[in-house]
Structure 1
C-alpha cells in the first residue's frame, strides 16, 4: 500500500463519516454502536468499506422516510449486525481455523 492509497483511504473515510454526522442523532448513536461491534467481531473484509457504506445508505433512506432507527434495526442491534455478517468470514473463524491447524 502506497502513500497515495493511504491518502485516498483517509479521504474516503472522512467522506463516510461526514455522511454519518449528517444523520439524525439517534441514527448516529446506533451507527457508532454497530461500527464498534463490527470492528470487534465483524467480517475479515470489513476494511473494504462496503458494509459500513451500505449501512449508511440504509440509514439515510430510513431517515428520509421518517422512520426511527429502531424501526429499521430492531431493539437488538447486535443481533441485527450478526444477521448482516452471517455468511461472512469473521476474525473468530480465522482464530478457530488456526487452532484447528495447531491441533494434531
Structure 2
C-alpha cells in the first residue's frame, strides 16, 4: 500500500463521514451505533467493502421517503447488524477457530 492509496482512502472516508453528517440526527445516532457494533464484531473487509456506504445509501433513501430510522431497521439495532453480516466471516470467528485447536498445536 503506497502513500497515494492511503491518501485516497482518507479522502473516501472523509466523504463517507460527510454523508453521515448530512443525515438527520436520529439517523446519525443509529448509524454510529451500527458502526460501533460492526467495528466490535469485525466482519472481514468492513472498511474496504460496500457495507458501510450501503447503510448510508439505505438511510438516505429512508430520509428521502420520510420514514423514521427505526421504521427502516426495526427496534433491534444489533439484530439488524447481525442480519447484514450473517454470511460474512468475522475476525471473532477466525479467532475462535484458531484457539479451538488441540493444546500444543498452533494453526497458521
- For this structure pair, what is the TM-score category when the shorter chain's length is used for normalisation? over 0.9
Which structure is larger by alpha-carbon Rg, 1 or 2? 2
> Between Structure 1 and Structure 2, how many residues are aligned?
104
Q: How does 1:40-51 map to 2 (within 5 A)?
A: 40-51=40-51
Structure 1 residue 97, shift from structure 2 partner: 1.5
Structure 2 residues not aligned, in runs of 5+: none
Q: What is the CA–CA distance in structure 1 between the aligned matches of 2:102 and 2:8, rounded to whole Å?
A: 39
Look up the match of 2:8.
8
Q: What aligned pairs does 1:1-104 form with structure 2 within 5 A after superposition?
A: 1-101=1-101, 103=103
- Report deviation, 1:102: 5.1
Unaligned runs of 5+ in 1: none
In the TM superposition, what is the alpha-carbon distance from 1:50 to its structure 2 partner? 0.9
- Indicate the structure with greater helix content: 1
Q: 1:100 Cα shift?
A: 2.7
Kindly report the root-mean-square deviation, in angstroms, between the aligned alpha carbons of the 2 structures: 1.1
- Whether the 8 Å CA contact 1:42–1:85 is kept in 2: the answer is no
What TM-score do the two structures reach when normalised by structure 1? Answer: 0.95
Greater CA deviation, 31-40 or 93-102? Answer: 93-102
